Amino acid sequence: MAHFTSQDYISCGSATLSRQVVCAVIAAAPLKGHPLYIAAIAILKFAAAQFNLRMKILEEAMSASLVLVEQSGYPLLLQTSEEMDKLMAAQIPIEEKQLALASTIRPFMLVTSPLAWLSLGNYIDSFNAQIDAHKTVLMHFEQLWEWKLATVTEVIDGDTFKTDVYDEPIRFEDINCPELDTEAGKAAKAYTESHLLGKEVELRARKQLDDYNRRLAKVYLNGKNFAYELVSQGLAKFVFFKPD
């Protein structure tokens, strides 16, 4: 089943940003034989190859994701954004390195190309604003969710279980399994129990409990959202919960 990872986004983003900076260097180089030009061309070719490779992976994942949407009605936006906090936390250091690279290159452009020097200055300013925005969004995410590694100690039903990390039960966010007094509910519990009991999972848990004193969470087993597995097996449907 398709699953977007932080590295997929980061690789594409890094390659794109690298190409922007390198293209600016190439434009500033006065001669094709200039060492700066030769180095920039080599870096650009490598960045382009990495970008194209990651784009192919993302296109394949997107196609598979669209199949998932058609089968389950699960909004694609939720799938692609559910790890946004982890993505931004990983992206910020990369953005800062890109900014440092641009800042290092810029003084040389004042001599070779004042126009490129001015353009890169605008780029640095906008990039600084982008980093500040990412940090602000990340702070907001951190107020709502937290990431925890936990071992599943008890499965209550198909979409609820207990762990060694939280006192309150964990409830899968965005899905609902049939009630336990039905055959479908028993099958859902058996499936969850056979896959999660005693296993270490990664939780993206809400800090605020719901009305039933449960902690809503995304549940990842071996890097994959286990809710997708339950839905794909016909053992759950996507719903939306809002903790009050």
pLDDT digits (tens, 9 = 90+) for 204-231: 899 989 888 999 999 999 888 898 889 8
The answer on 110 and 64 residing in a single domain is: yes
- Beta strands 175-176 and 237-238, pairing class: antiparallel
The answer on 188 and 206 residing in a single domain is: yes
What CATH code is carried by the domain that includes residue 185? 2.40.50.90
Quote the percentage of the chain above a pLDDT of 90. 28
Is the pLDDT confidence value at 99 over 60?
yes
pLDDT digits (tens, 9 = 90+) for 5-28: 444 444 445 545 555 555 555 555
The boundaries of the domain holding residue 55 are 6-144
The answer on 131 and 150 residing in a single domain is: no
Residue type, 76: L
The answer on 106 and 26 residing in a single domain is: yes
Q: DSSP for 126-141?
A: HHHHHHHHHHHHHHHH
The answer on 224 and 116 residing in a single domain is: no
Is the pLDDT confidence value at 77 over 60?
no
128 burial level (CB within 10 Å; 0-12, 13-18, 19+): middle
The Cβ-side half-sphere exposure at 233, using a 13 Å CA radius, reads 20
Q: Write down the pLDDT at residue 148.
A: 92
Cα separation, 85 vs 28, in Å, equals 37
What is the average pLDDT score of the chain?
A: 75
The answer on 130 and 39 residing in a single domain is: yes
